[in-house]
Amino acid sequence: MIDLVIKIGSMALINKDYNDINYNIFARLSRELRPGYALVSSGATEIGRLDFIKRNGTELAENGDYEKAKTDYAAQGQSVLMQNYRQFVDSKYSLRQILVEHQHFNDADKREHLKEMLLRCSVQNAIPIINYNDAVSEEENRKMEIQARRSIGQKVVECVDNDETAAQVACLLNCKTLLILTSTDGIYKNAADSSTIVKEVKSSDPNELLVKVCELQKSCVGANRRGAFGALAKLEYIKEPLRQGIKVIISNSAFKIEDILSGVARSTVFEVK
C-alpha cells in the first residue's frame, strides 16, 4: 500500500541565485523518502537545460521551436534527476524510475498495469520516482489522441502538468494523502502577500468542499515560469482526489515532510472531515 504521494515542482529543485540544482532540497527530501511513499518529480526539463548550458555555454537553438528544445532538455535531465535522488536516498532502499504518459491513465489495461507495478514497490522495499515522459511525448500527437477519446464521450486525462500527474497517481492508488511541494508555503489569497495564506479548506460534505475550492481559485492568477500553470491549475487538479476522500496538502519544499504532515509547518490543507 502507498499511503503518501508527494509531488515536487521544478523550481523547488532549482537554486535561483546560482542558476543551478538545489542540492540541499534534493538531499533533505531524498533522506525522508521510504517505501510506502511515491514521488512525482518534475525537474527533468529545467535541470536538463541547466546541464546543457553548463556543458556547452549556451542554450539550445531549435529555430524557435520550444517543444523540440523541451524534448531534448528532458532527455538530458532525466539521468541527472535520478542520479541526484539515488545519491541521497537511503542505500537500503531500491529506487525505481517510472516515466508515464497520458495514455497510461486513459487506457484501463495500462492503468491497472501501472497501479500493480506501483503497489509492488511498497512491498519490495522500493521507492517509485514518477515523471511525465516529455522526451517522447509530442504535443500535436497527444492532442490528437485526447481529442479522439473526447469525441466518443470518454473522460480523459491529459497530464499536461505534473500536478495533474500526481493527482491521477493519488487517485489510482487511493492513497491517504497527496502532498504537493512548491516554492510557496501554500495557497495565498493574494499571490504577492504570504500573510494571506489559507491554512485549511475543510468540509464534511465533498460537494461543499469543491465549491470552496472553486471560490479559492478566483484568487489565483499567473504562474512563475514558462510552461507552468500555477496555483489555479493545482486547485483544479486536486478536485478529483478530494472527491475520492484523499487529503491534499500544499506546502513549501523547504519544510520537512514530517513537519508538514504533523501540522508544524505552514501549509494549506484540503480535507473532507
| Mean local confidence (pLDDT), 224-240 | 76
**Using alpha carbons only, how large is the chain's radius of gyration in Å?**
18
pLDDT in tens, 39-66: 999 999 999 999 999 999 999 976 667 8
Q: What is the pLDDT of residues 149-187, one digit of tens each?
A: 677 766 777 667 899 999 999 999 999 999 999 989 999
More confident residue, 136 or 28: 28
Homologous superfamily (CATH) of 1-175 is: Acetylglutamate kinase-like (3.40.1160.10)
State if pTM tops 0.75.
Answer: yes
* pLDDT number for residue 224: 46
**Residue 146, pLDDT above cutoff 80:** no
How confident is the model at residue 227, as a pLDDT? 43
Task: Report residue 141's pLDDT band, with 50, 70 and 90 as the boundaries.
Answer: low
| 92, pLDDT greater than 60 | yes
Domain extents in the chain: 1-175, 181-273
Phi-psi region of 271 (alpha: psi -120 to 50; beta: other; left: phi over 0): beta
Instruction: Assess whether pLDDT exceeds 80 at residue 128.
Output: yes
